[in-house]
Chain A
Amino acid sequence: MLSPLVVSLLVGVTPAPARFDQTGRSIGAPLSDRTASYVLEARYDPATRHVTGTARLTWTNRSAVPQSTLWFHAYWNAFKNADSTFSQETHRAGGARSSTAAYRRDDWGWTELRSARLPDGTDVRSTLRWEQPDDGPSADQTVFTLTLPTPVPPHGTLTLDLGWEARVPKLVARTGVAGKFTLFGQWFPKLGVLEVPPQRGLRTPTWNCHQFHAATEFYADFGNYDASLTVPRSLLVGATGVRTGRTENPDGTVTHRFHQDDVIDFAWTAWEGAVEASDVFLSDGLPQVALTVLVPPNATRSTPQILAAARATLEHGGRRWLPYPYPHLTLVAPPISSNVESGGMEYPTFVTVYSRTDPVPPRDVLLWEVTVHEVGHGWWQGMLASNEFEEAWLDEGVDTWATAEVLDGVGLGWDFAQLAPPGARWLLAPLLRSSIPDAEVRGRSSVPRYQSTIVRPGWRFKGSSDVGRSTYGRAAAALRMLEREVGRETFARIMRTYAERWAFRHPGTDDFLQLASEVGGKDLRPLGSALLRGTAGLDDAVAELRCTEVPAGGGPGLYDVDGGTPVFRPARLTAGETAEARCEVLVERHGDLPLPLDVQLTFQDGTRSRHDVPDGERWSRIATRRPLPGGRVALAEVHPGSPPPADTAPLNDARSLAATPGPTLGVAGWLLYAAQLLAVAVGSLL
């Protein structure tokens, strides 16, 4: 295979200078503060599903306060028993992904710290104490603390050698074993984050180390990761970072070594039977990125599309947000039967995507959407490492917005016909054919009221659908609401500045809103807070539009004529009299989002009038009186020209005087037809 440099010369592309060398080590100044770095060594025996490992942790106390207690995650204990926080929450709330509810005896997994030695040889393992900072069940063992004999001084550095063992669980929540496929996510004892003032409004340094919840993802400091992974020779290994070594061992195992500076995590897969493919992302003015794809053998036809989607994201993100600095990106499409459980997850420079045995050419929206989304996380979590436990929208919501941007950019919408299984596509395609922008697919709500605020800890949402809808689509719609306030170009500048300024740091919601207001030239915090920290939704509607035709001189009744005796005037037009149209428009506000409500009326003669509904009013009736012909209100619209993306029922934003029988007959006819088919199907059994 040609080297990336040769390829770039051949295709005449001039990439930007690399930020990392070919071993994943940074060139020049570090990109991050490298608070927590790990040298990991692990040996995996797939026969027993046993992992033994060591981790040399180098941690810097960023605070001005000595720290004698270190907080760690032991994520795999979430899968240790039915009393863990994860198990209890998944049993209670359910969700698309499975839980430990159906686990059998051998399915459970665990992780156990065996030693924790300081450089002087002192083992502080005996100080281990299980913690439940989120008031979870006392049986939960996903967070522990170690107490040091001597505190780490302010801005001092600690080195700690951890030894641990683990049993890999049956595949659940994007980690574990499924047949010959093993995904290692959140797999080693990992330090929590010591947040220091003024980070996210804190006044004192505080450890942020939450239990493993069913509906949360993760939060970690940046650092350098060097991992040596020993597995049987038959296993193909893909991992975070750049492969820096491969050593055959006498016992039939192979040690794979990977390294990457300035990342927040390290994940890997060991997979017997996977098919590997490589490519290089090359684009003028952007750093080149080597791409590796692992797919199941029955889905190799997906590989070109996965690579194309990754390249499209690197191109779009590199130009619109921030050049992707890492030299290597690994994309893993798990076995088909494990797609839901393990596909669609992001780790630094390592993501899991989907594959299909028969992808729809040339662009399968299912493959593209998930690949774009997961690669997009490389920015919104991989580089802007927000606290996903507490503010998941900063990753998922922003990335959902970004996914729609990329897909719109390449002109790809959702065609549900592509979701039909092979063998039935030719039959089902006409029934499902569609082209719906990605932004309209996710997170639509049918009511202008929400159960939860968007910004809240992930375990405090009402259920899995609530957390998903809030932190993904609703949050993305909130961003588009802000975009509506400042315009598309300004908002693009906001997002670019946000990425540039907060890359390799830990932004919070207030940081984002502050920056958006600053760059947008407008205080976006009130609207942003209402959208993100409130439950108010938006549904402004034109509820009624009526017009009547009356004589210009007035309706029926008695009228003074020239100050004399009242004269009766009939309802119908008299000879020589002109008529006028009296129209009434009723505008209603069904939601509580305090957005200015303006109304535009378009008359039959083409003229227009604008009306503002006073703040705080939930409805307004607008009356017009204009001469005919042309005096009737042909169209009444709220928010004319710029429909709010958060509106839960955009259809009722406009109402015409003329009937629109097409949609009515279309929907009613379809409902009738569907009911007829249901009746005839049931009738087949009678």
Chain B
Amino acid sequence: MRRLLEALRVGLREWRTVAVLLWANWLVAGLMVAPAVPRVVAAFGHAPRAAGKPLLSTELLLGLGSVFEGGGTPSVAAPLLLLVVLQTFLAGGVVWRACAGGPFRLGAFLGQAGRLVGRNARLYLWLLLLLGGAALVPAALALGMHALGLPTVFTGPAETWLFGRPFTAWSVLHLGVVALSLALWRLSLDVGRVLLFRDDLRVTRRAAWRAVWLVVRAPGSVMLYAVLGALATAAVLLAARGRASLPEGNAGLALLALGVGQLVLWIRLAFQVAGTAFAASLVVALADVAAVERPLADAPPG
């Protein structure tokens, strides 16, 4: 629990790191939206019948079909590809901030990111194998539960989402298993990145398996990491809910909503940094245990 709180503190403290991540997010999201902006301006820039209308109305969001008729729809694939590259690049800098502490310098951040980007990319590819394995567990469980007539959100009839109760004790339990599987994988990825930075490992395959091994040996940490993820999800959803509750209708309110939206993103990215910090503290703790155990094991009998 102490590690969890410390990780959260790092997430709060590393606001410059979060700002860099947010900048990357802006870049990707901006590229997604850029093709749509001329159409939006043309359609709504001098549209008195849209003024004062709520976003979820036929005049605005529900009328976007005709706005984008003939082109100008947001682009998704290419910006997301850029996101993959950017995120892999920035991961090294984030790990540096989570492990090393000290003053933030953008040059050093980017330097560490550049130093580790190749290894981080290879590590990610290795750990994709684990992602497949981790996904098999909840998938198999869902099928088993379905065969026993127990509902999950993935195997129930589609109508349940609209007419029934998708969230039952069983389906929430299954979602918990999904979250744990995801936490196992994601923590392994973070631990692997920490190992690459801390021990300057060159063989990424070895780093990947070592990370998995460390994580598997620390099930309590997986639980805590899942708690961290749940906290992140809850915080983001609450912030998103707050943003959605803002009044609408004019330019000032739209800008306010955009600003509050950045807070939502900030919270999520701060938790991302906290997750890496948690992995770093886990590696340190396990290394300390190993350091204590090794002399004892090596000591002559007697």
Tell me, yes or no, whether A binds B: yes
Most buried by B among A436, A545, A676, A678: A676
Q: How large is the interface on B (under 10, 10 to 19, 20 to 34, 35 or more residues)?
A: 35 or more
Set of chain A residues within 8 Å of B254, measured between Cβ atoms: 661-662, 665-666, 669
Identify which of residues 142-191 in chain B touch chain A, using a CB-to-CB cut-off of 8 Å.
156-167, 186
Q: Is A128 an interface residue (CB 8 A)?
A: no
Q: Can you list, as one digit per residue, whether each of B83-104 has a CB less than 8 Å from chain A (1) or not (0)? A: 1100110010000000000000
- In this complex, what residue of A is CB-closest to B131? A685
CB <8 Å contact, B66 and A447:
yes
Set of chain B residues within 8 Å of A656, measured between Cβ atoms: 46-48
- In this complex, what residue of A is CB-closest to B262? A676
CB <8 Å contact, A663 and B74:
no
Q: Is A431 an interface residue (CB 8 A)?
A: yes
Report how far A446 CA is from B67 CA in the complex, Å. 8
Set of chain B residues within 8 Å of A651, measured between Cβ atoms: 43-44, 47, 49-50, 59, 63, 66-67
Q: Is A419 an interface residue (CB 8 A)?
A: yes
Q: Is A127 an interface residue (CB 8 A)?
A: no
Set of chain A residues within 8 Å of B272, measured between Cβ atoms: 683-684
Report how far A673 CA is from B255 CA in the complex, Å. 11
Report how far A662 CA is from B59 CA in the complex, Å. 13
CB <8 Å contact, B159 and A339:
yes
Q: How far is the CB of B192 from chain A (nearest CB, A)?
A: 13
Q: Is B110 an interface residue (CB 8 A)?
A: no
Set of chain A residues within 8 Å of B25, measured between Cβ atoms: 676, 679-680, 683
Q: How far is the CB of A584 from chain B (nearest CB, A)?
A: 14
Q: Is B213 an interface residue (CB 8 A)?
A: no
- Give the contacting residue for B60; candidates A661, A666, A676; CB below 8 A: A666
Set of chain B residues within 8 Å of A431, measured between Cβ atoms: 240-241, 244
Please tell me which stretch of A64-72, A250-258, A422-430 contacts chain B, meaning at least 4 of its Cβ atoms lie within 8 angstroms of it.
A422-430
Q: Is A244 an interface residue (CB 8 A)?
A: no
CB <8 Å contact, B83 and A682:
yes
CB <8 Å contact, B87 and A686:
yes
Known contacts: A433-B56, A444-B65. The answer to whether A354 contacts B163 by CB under 8 A is yes
Set of chain B residues within 8 Å of A675, measured between Cβ atoms: 28-30, 32-33, 74, 79
Most buried by A among B50, B64, B66: B66
Q: Is A657 an interface residue (CB 8 A)?
A: yes
Q: Can you list, as one digit per residue, whether each of A635-651 has a CB less than 8 Å from chain B (1) or not (0)? A: 10000000000001111
CB <8 Å contact, A669 and B258:
yes
Please tell me which stretch of A283-291, A305-313, A355-363, A562-570 contacts chain B, meaning at least 4 of its Cβ atoms lie within 8 angstroms of it.
A355-363
Set of chain A residues within 8 Å of B56, measured between Cβ atoms: 416, 432-434, 436
Set of chain B residues within 8 Å of A666, measured between Cβ atoms: 44, 55, 60, 248, 251, 253-254, 257
Q: Is B76 an interface residue (CB 8 A)?
A: yes
Set of chain A residues within 8 Å of B36, measured between Cβ atoms: 668, 671
Q: How far is the CB of B169 from chain A (nearest CB, A)?
A: 11
Q: Is A158 an interface residue (CB 8 A)?
A: no
Q: How large is the interface on A (under 10, 10 to 19, 20 to 34, 35 or more residues)?
A: 35 or more
CB <8 Å contact, A427 and B241:
yes
CB <8 Å contact, B32 and A679:
yes
- Give the contacting residue for B53; candidates A648, A661, A663; CB below 8 A: A663
Report how far A340 CA is from B250 CA in the complex, Å. 39
Set of chain B residues within 8 Å of A236, measured between Cβ atoms: none
CB <8 Å contact, B33 and A663:
no
Set of chain A residues within 8 Å of B287, measured between Cβ atoms: none
Q: Is B1 an interface residue (CB 8 A)?
A: no
Known contacts: A665-B255, A673-B261. The answer to whether A434 contacts B54 by CB under 8 A is yes
- In this complex, what residue of A is CB-closest to B251? A661
Set of chain B residues within 8 Å of A673, measured between Cβ atoms: 243, 257-258, 261, 264
CB <8 Å contact, A635 and B48:
yes
Known contacts: A336-B159, A656-B47. The answer to whether A422 contacts B33 by CB under 8 A is no
Set of chain B residues within 8 Å of A424, measured between Cβ atoms: 167
- In this complex, what residue of A is CB-closest to B45? A664
Report how far A656 CA is from B45 CA in the complex, Å. 9
Set of chain B residues within 8 Å of A339, measured between Cβ atoms: 159, 162-163
Report how far A677 CA is from B240 CA in the complex, Å. 10
CB <8 Å contact, B165 and A421:
yes
Report how far A442 CA is from B274 CA in the complex, Å. 46
Set of chain B residues within 8 Å of A408, measured between Cβ atoms: none
Known contacts: A337-B159, A444-B58, A649-B63. The answer to whether A683 contacts B46 by CB under 8 A is no
Set of chain A residues within 8 Å of B57, measured between Cβ atoms: 434, 436
Known contacts: A430-B245, A673-B261, A680-B265. The answer to whether A686 contacts B163 by CB under 8 A is no
CB <8 Å contact, A356 and B249:
no
Q: How far is the CB of A448 from chain B (nearest CB, A)?
A: 9
Set of chain A residues within 8 Å of B46, measured between Cβ atoms: 545, 655-660
Q: Is A440 an interface residue (CB 8 A)?
A: yes
Set of chain B residues within 8 Å of A336, measured between Cβ atoms: 157, 159-160, 163-164
Report how far A441 CA is from B57 CA in the complex, Å. 10
Identify which of residues 65-79 in chain B touch chain A, using a CB-to-CB cut-off of 8 Å.
65-69, 74, 76, 79
CB <8 Å contact, A654 and B88:
no
Q: Is A147 an interface residue (CB 8 A)?
A: no
CB <8 Å contact, B66 and A648:
yes
- Give the contacting residue for A667; candidates B44, B163, B255; CB below 8 A: B44
Most buried by B among A354, A648, A678: A678
Report how far A539 CA is from B67 CA in the complex, Å. 12
Q: How far is the CB of A669 from chain B (nearest CB, A)?
A: 4
CB <8 Å contact, B165 and A686:
no
CB <8 Å contact, A423 and B165:
yes
Q: Is B302 an interface residue (CB 8 A)?
A: no
- In this complex, what residue of A is CB-closest to B22? A676
CB <8 Å contact, A356 and B167:
no
Report how far A383 CA is from B55 CA in the complex, Å. 41
- Give the contacting residue for A422; candidates B54, B167, B245; CB below 8 A: B167
Report how far A446 CA is from B66 CA in the complex, Å. 4
Set of chain A residues within 8 Å of B257, measured between Cβ atoms: 666, 669-670, 673
8 residue pairs of the A-B complex, CB under 8 angstroms, read A355-B163, A421-B160, A427-B237, A671-B33, A677-B240, A679-B28, A680-B268, A686-B88
Per CB-CB distance, the 9 closest pairs between chain A and chain B, nearest first, are: A446-B65, A665-B254, A675-B29, A430-B244, A663-B50, A423-B167, A337-B157, A663-B44, A675-B32
Residues of chain A touching chain B, judged by Cβ–Cβ distance below 8 Å, are 298-299, 336-340, 354-358, 366, 416, 419, 421-424, 427, 430-434, 436, 440-441, 444, 446-447, 539, 545, 635, 648-673, 675-680, 682-686
Residues of chain B touching chain A, judged by Cβ–Cβ distance below 8 Å, are 25-26, 28-30, 32-33, 36-37, 40-41, 43-69, 74, 76, 79-80, 83-84, 87-88, 91, 124, 156-167, 186, 237, 240-241, 243-245, 248-251, 253-255, 257-258, 261, 264-265, 268-269, 272
Contacts A651-B47, A682-B80 given; 16 further ones with Cβ under 8 A? A299-B163, A337-B157, A422-B167, A427-B241, A436-B58, A649-B63, A651-B59, A657-B46, A660-B46, A662-B249, A662-B254, A666-B60, A669-B257, A672-B261, A677-B240, A678-B29
